[in-house]
Structure 1
Amino acid sequence: MPSASLTTPPAIPPGKDKHHIVVLEGIHAKMPTFDFPHTIDVHQRTAPSEVSERIKDATIVVGCVVPVTPKDMDNAPHLGVLAVMAVGIQWVDKKDCARRGVTVTKCPAGNVDAVTEHFLGLYFAARKRTVQVHNIVTTTSDWVEKGSLTKLWPSGPPLGARQETLGIMGYGTLGTRLETLAKAVGFKEVLISERKNAKSIRPGRVAFEDALQRATVLGICLPKENDTIDLIGEKELKMMKKDALIINVARGGIVNEHALAKALKEGWIAGAATDVLETEPGGLGTSPLIPDLAKGDDAVPNLTISSHIAWFTQSTIENYQRLLKEGIEGWVNGTLQNSEDEVNKVVVVHNGRIWN
């Protein structure tokens, strides 16, 4: 049995008779029903400059993409739990939350099926140049006049799945699921990359540089951390095959956008697809990958972009709602920590300790 000190429900702030929940980005999903007395403010969207004012009376904050910073928390004296409705939480200052005694929860593995399925969609779109072909057919008479658009592939026909070697960077839940799907689709070979600059190679993996050089499809599936920002830059892109694709379903900034744009313009690789950008939401001129042609910027060829929607399926929403509810109600009821060394799977920070 866990000790009473680990399972004592948090006190409601003086002068309050119930918890107050503030949802910063309700645009992404409907909130679950919470089974404890509370009030709730749901903001469909919140700008970073609005966070501090909106959370000032909260005991519970539900976030997603917009950061809740230490400075914001300075203005929220009653904050007890920051519940992030996402898998990736790179923006959370875990050490600061632990120091304050603020619990942090997330939604682990809630979107794995959706994101890996989207990866396959981006792969086929990039290899088949689906978006490029669609745009040509719907805006020009090229197909009618030329009779065929196969010359869009200057080096000849594209590879098929049975000829592809997939290099996976990030072998967590997402990467392992992607390996299964790739093999089911018929990929010839799957390589699991070791960490960059690793001093030894774990069994079943290949060196980082080896994955870059051998892969015809490079899948980015790892978290955005200090050591993965700009993981793939000019040096790495120049190491890849001319017929290679790079597909990012992780986070913007892991692949350097300036370098990727240059690689595509100069033909270092065959193409790329990404569901994520360093600056989101994205639009004309917000990224080197989205040039504003009306201002004379050069187009980035052979690139497919989706608007951070890889996670968006009915099952993901249901998973997020369930995990969000589990984390928040676990905090309210004092049941997130089972023993001195065990916490609920949704816990990132709890009882002044960083768990993962």
Structure 2
Amino acid sequence: MAQKSPIHIVRLDAIHCPDPIFSSSLNHTLTSHLNTPPNDETIIKHLTTPKPANVAITTRIPITEKVLAACPDLKLVAAMAIGIDMIDLAACKKYGVQVCNVPAASNESVAEHAIALFFSLRRQVVRMHGLTVTGAIWPERMSLKDEWGELPGTCREEVVGVFGGGELGGRVANICKALNMKVQFSERKSVSASEVREGRVSFDECIKTSTAFFLTLPLSPETLNMISTEELTNMRSDALIVNVARGGIVNEEALVEALKSRKILGAATDVYVEEPAGLKNSPLVRAANEWSKDTSMSGRLVLSPHLAWWAKSSIQKLRTTVASNIEAWAGGEIKNEVL
């Protein structure tokens, strides 16, 4: 839209990051809510009172069809993130609402966090920490090597399977290659073995041959529960899974069962089906909490609270890009358009 009068911008969840850095030339008003309970009624209230929003900024607060129907003045949803799975794109199209995001918002820090999670699993950092800080077990036994289990390999023996061939997957792959790991990019699950693209391996081959998996792909109807009981059963017994993509790509209940039955060696995640994740709503949190008291399971499931993105470079890019997206839209252009 070409701006004629002040646009009203509503920020729904400022708890994650400081507000965008707008140019002084943008004629606007801004209401910034630290957080918004993720129910339609409260979201609608925040977007309509004390005055209707023209632009909504969201990081994780859902924008549903009910919200859009109740907010006729809303014309742009600006995701302060790369992920847009919390926005009903079909409904946005129906109501003529444009959507933009921040491409590669935090890929640098997320890739590094993914590698940190990998090493926390492969080198049993969490478990060894727990055994060491008791202050008694190591002095009593003189060595804790027998607590390790099978003698671990090093990076040159890893076969890394990357699900997601975008910039984030590429960053993870480059770090792995620099550490002398073999890297293979998986083809989409729906693609037959005879139609695999150059530079990729079939989904089934990747599942069966990789020693470590990195998930760096968006959540979509195609990727929902992409890895579940069948895939976990077909993995190597020494396999590790690292998810820095979105909750729901790996079936959480199936993952807990695979770890319990030792079908795979370990898993780490920064993302969950329901967030914030806690004992009441997350099978992963419940399992990790229970296993923290069991030395045979401790450290085999490593969790972080969706903060892989948290870094100076990420914050700067989020603040400047969202501002640029909104300013371009106000001037009749659209940047980083999703819809």
- With the length of structure 1 as denominator, give the TM-score of the two structures: 0.87
CA contact (8 A) 1:192 1:204 kept: yes
Q: 1:141 to 1:286 in 2, by over 3 A?
A: farther
Partner of 2:45: 53
2:319 corresponds to 1:321: yes
After TM superposition, the structure 1 = structure 2 runs for residues 10-25 of structure 1, keeping only pairs within 5 Å, are: 17-25=5-13
2:142 corresponds to 1:147: yes
**How big is the shift at 1:258?**
0.5
Partner of 1:280: 275
**How big is the shift at 1:297?**
11
C-alpha root-mean-square deviation of aligned residues, in Å?
A: 2.0
CA contact (8 A) 2:214 2:242 kept: yes
**How big is the shift at 1:125?**
0.5
Amino acid at match of 1:320: L
2:55 corresponds to 1:97: no
After TM superposition, the structure 1 = structure 2 runs for residues 188-337 of structure 1, keeping only pairs within 5 Å, are: 189-199=182-192, 200-291=195-286, 301=298, 302-336=300-334
Write out per-residue CA displacement over residues 144-167 of structure 1, whole angstroms, 9 at most, x where no aligned residue.
22222222322x222211110000
Structure 1 CA distance for aligned equivalents of residues 290 and 319 of structure 2: 43
Partner of 1:339: none
Q: 1:192 to 1:285 in 2, by over 3 A?
A: same
Structure 2 CA distance for aligned equivalents of residues 348 and 223 of structure 1: 13
Q: 1:70 to 1:315 in 2, by over 3 A?
A: same
CA contact (8 A) 1:53 1:75 kept: no
Partner of 1:4: none
Name the SS of the counterpart of 2:77 in structure 1. strand
Structure 1's consecutive aligned runs of 4 or more residues displaced over 4 angstroms after TM superposition are 292-301
Partner of 2:73: 78
After TM superposition, the structure 1 = structure 2 runs for residues 23-42 of structure 1, keeping only pairs within 5 Å, are: 23-35=11-23, 36-42=26-32
Paired-residue identity, %: 36
2:177 corresponds to 1:183: yes
Amino acid at match of 2:191: A
**How big is the shift at 1:10?**
5.2
Equivalent in 44, 47, 54 of residue 34 of structure 2: 44
Segment drifting more, 211-220 vs 39-48: 39-48
Write out per-residue CA displacement over residues 212-262 of structure 1, whole angstroms, 9 at most, x where no aligned residue.
111000111110000101000011011111111011010011001111101
**How big is the shift at 1:141?**
2.5
Q: 1:293 to 1:275 in 2, by over 3 A?
A: closer
Q: 1:264 to 1:333 in 2, by over 3 A?
A: same
Q: 1:72 to 1:297 in 2, by over 3 A?
A: farther
CA contact (8 A) 1:58 1:78 kept: yes
Structure 1 CA distance for aligned equivalents of residues 332 and 288 of structure 2: 55
Q: Which runs of 5+ in 1 are unaligned?
A: 1-7, 12-16, 337-343, 350-356
Partner of 1:162: 156
**How big is the shift at 1:322?**
1.7
Structure 2 CA distance for aligned equivalents of residues 209 and 41 of structure 1: 49
Structure 1 CA distance for aligned equivalents of residues 2 and 17 of structure 2: 27
- With the length of structure 2 as denominator, give the TM-score of the two structures: 0.91
Write out per-residue CA displacement over residues 313-346 of structure 1, whole angstroms, 9 at most, x where no aligned residue.
100111111210111111101122xxxxxxx3x1
Q: Which runs of 5+ in 2 are unaligned?
A: none
**How big is the shift at 1:93?**
1.6
Structure 1 CA distance for aligned equivalents of residues 302 and 290 of structure 2: 21
Write out per-residue CA displacement over residues 86-132 of structure 1, whole angstroms, 9 at most, x where no aligned residue.
11111222122122121111000121111111111001111111112
CA contact (8 A) 1:21 1:40 kept: yes
Q: 1:124 to 1:297 in 2, by over 3 A?
A: closer
Amino acid at match of 1:182: C
Name the SS of the counterpart of 1:330 in structure 2. helix
Structure 1 CA distance for aligned equivalents of residues 85 and 275 of structure 2: 14
